[in-house]
Amino acid sequence: MTPALTELSLAAPAKLNLFLQITGQRADGYHQLQSLFQFIDLHDTLHLRLRQDGQIHFHSQLQLDDPQETNLVVRAAEALKAAVPMAKRAQLGVDLRLDKCLPLGGGVGGGSSDAASTLLGLNHLWQLGLSLQQLAAIGLQLGADVPVFIWGHSAWAEGIGEELTPCSPPTPQYLLFSVGSHCHTGRMFAEADLERNSPRCQAEEALQQLGHNAFEPIARRLYPDIELAFQWCQRHQLQPALTGSGALIYAPLAEPALGPQLQQAFLRSFPRAQAWIAQGQNRSLAHQQLAALDAASSDCAPHPS
Ligand SMILES: C[C@@](CO)(OP(=O)(O)O)[C@H](O)COP(=O)(O)OP(=O)(O)OC[C@H]1O[C@@H](n2ccc(N)nc2=O)[C@H](O)[C@@H]1O
Ligand SMILES: Nc1ncnc2c1ncn2[C@@H]1O[C@H](COP(=O)(O)OP(=O)(O)O)[C@@H](O)[C@H]1O
């Protein structure tokens, strides 16, 4: 029999919203949207190690703005444990360490991805055998963006982001910029002039309008540095777009060879900014790693004689 793993490291990749429009609002205030999600190869890394004493311990350099707030990694681990029958819970302990790289509140879903990788990793390590559907339902309680990271495939999203249809948009390299502004998701959704009644469309139509994002005019109006970054990109023949509710801006690279040059030029114009070159991926890094683990363990499994 394959020996059970006692530790595991898993990526928690970022996402981009290649298209985002809002089509209505539910009675509870949450907005209905249509969005095209794609992953990129920028990621946080989560290290998980089994504990025998049933405790959940967490370590990270990341300080959340609100010291009262519990990190989504811990909330995910607790939510998963709570979903397991009481009799099994006493043995389910873990040391969790998060190496945080993704910018906070940037619209790349780092917190949601950390939560999803926690659920995926613990399901494996604790040998719970929950389905992706069950994990996505637990994840949805933590944030509207968590399910897409659980399923791990680029997707056309509807509802509040949890009704997902896998799709495979083009996977260019992107330039990704952070000019330092933070857009608070709840506040962006609450902005009075947000276009929240767009007519619904089909995924195929969205693929013809890549880069459309209902939050873009608001982010450009509220944050002058975001406006300046859009103008810089346009002057450099890039097609910039906002991801999520902001504040990061991405632009597909028509000529990947020019990426490093454009990245340096941007940083010269915006010395306090950050800029990355990232590869679009239709399968999340976390899922690629889990598939490699499964393949390795089936290689180790005894062959039927
Ligand atoms: C806008 C998007 C697009 O991918 O991404 P981000 O910019 O956050 O990455 C998501 O819909 C964000 O999802 P997520 O970041 O998980 O949001 P949540 O934590 O669930 O919600 C934060 C707050 O935003 C508002 N909210 C969120 C999602 C939604 N469909 N309607 C809303 O009105 C609610 O006020 C909620 O309290
Ligand atoms: N592990 C985490 N990483 C990032 N943010 C977290 C985490 N845990 C809790 N949060 C909270 O979630 C908020 C949104 O985080 P994040 O996912 O980075 O935003 P976005 O979805 O806009 O990229 C943060 O401002 C923070 O308060």
Q: Tell me if the bond preceding 247 is cis, omega within 30° of 0.
A: yes
Return the pLDDT at 294.
86
* Ligand 1 site, residue 106, Cβ cutoff 6 A: no
Told to judge if 15 belongs to the known catalytic residues of this protein, a careful annotator would answer yes
Q: How far apart are CA 95 and CA 56, in angstroms?
A: 6
CA of 25 to the centre of ligand 1 (A): 12
Is the Cβ atom of 140 under 6 angstroms away from ligand 1? Answer: no
Q: Is the CB of 107 under 6 A from ligand 1?
A: yes
Nearest CA to ligand 1 atom 33: 30
Q: Which among 15, 41, 44, 114 is annotated as catalytic?
A: 15
Residue type, 122: L
pTM over 0.80: yes
Burial grade of 202 (CB within 10 A; 0-12, 13-18, 19 or more): exposed
One digit per residue, pLDDT tens: the chain, 305 residues? 446 899 999 999 999 999 999 999 999 999 999 999 999 999 999 999 999 999 999 999 998 988 899 999 999 999 999 999 998 898 999 999 999 999 998 999 999 999 999 999 999 999 999 999 999 999 999 999 999 999 999 999 999 988 999 999 999 999 999 998 888 889 999 999 999 999 999 999 999 999 999 999 999 999 999 999 999 999 999 999 999 999 999 999 999 999 999 999 999 999 999 999 999 999 999 999 999 998 887 777 666 55
Token pair recorded at residue 74: 């811990």
| pLDDT the model gives residue 180 | 82
Q: Annotated catalytic, 145?
A: yes
| CATH number of the CATH domain containing 137 | 3.30.230.10
Residue nearest to atom 11 of ligand 2 (CA): 111
**pLDDT in the model for residue 1:** 45
Residue ranges making up the domain that contains 110? 1-305
End-to-end CA distance of the chain: 15
pLDDT at 304: 59
How far away, in angstroms, is 185 Cα from ligand 2 center?
10
d(CA 232, CA 64): 31
| Binding-site sequence positions for ATP | 103-113
Number of domains in the chain: 1
161 lines ligand 1 (CB under 6 A): yes
Has the ipTM of the complex gone over 0.90?
yes
Annotated binding site: 103-113
pLDDT for the residue numbered 302? 64
